Amino acid sequence: MINIFYSLGILSFLIVTRPFEMEHDNTVEIINECIILCLFYLGLILQQVSYDDPILRYNIGYAGMALVSLCLLGNAIYFVKGIINQIKASFNKWRASKQRKLPQYEIE
């Protein structure tokens, strides 16, 4: 139960202060914290479900695994996209430096 309050505190901190320089980083962290909060609530629901209904417990567990997979997939896509953008920027900088070094010939 204390984890839920801790997660709500972190979520409110992220929303109010926006600690990261890039807005997209703030958005990703807020989404991650919302998913963590949902997982805490799923755990709370899972504790309240009786042991007589294993199918319901399995379905709640599968929902939790789906949330974790969604979070993992989203963060992986964001990470790979950032790497690709850095590689493109480095390549464009390298290409621009090579074009400056080449002598310019005029064709008459």
- Decide if 24 is inside a domain: yes
- The answer as to whether 106 is a domain residue is no
Q: Establish if 102 belongs to a structural domain.
A: no
Q: Which domain holds residue 64?
A: 2-96
For 20-65, the pLDDT digits (tens) are: 998 889 999 999 999 999 999 988 888 888 778 889 889 988 999 9
* Whole-structure pTM value: 0.74
Domain-embedded: residue 103: no
User: Within a domain: residue 10?
Assistant: yes
- The tally of domains found in the chain comes to 1
Contacts of 30 (CB under 8 A, 6+ apart): 11, 14, 15
In this structure, the chain runs to a length of 108
- Residue 32 located in a structural domain: yes
In a domain, 49, yes or no: yes
Residue type at 27 in one-letter notation: T
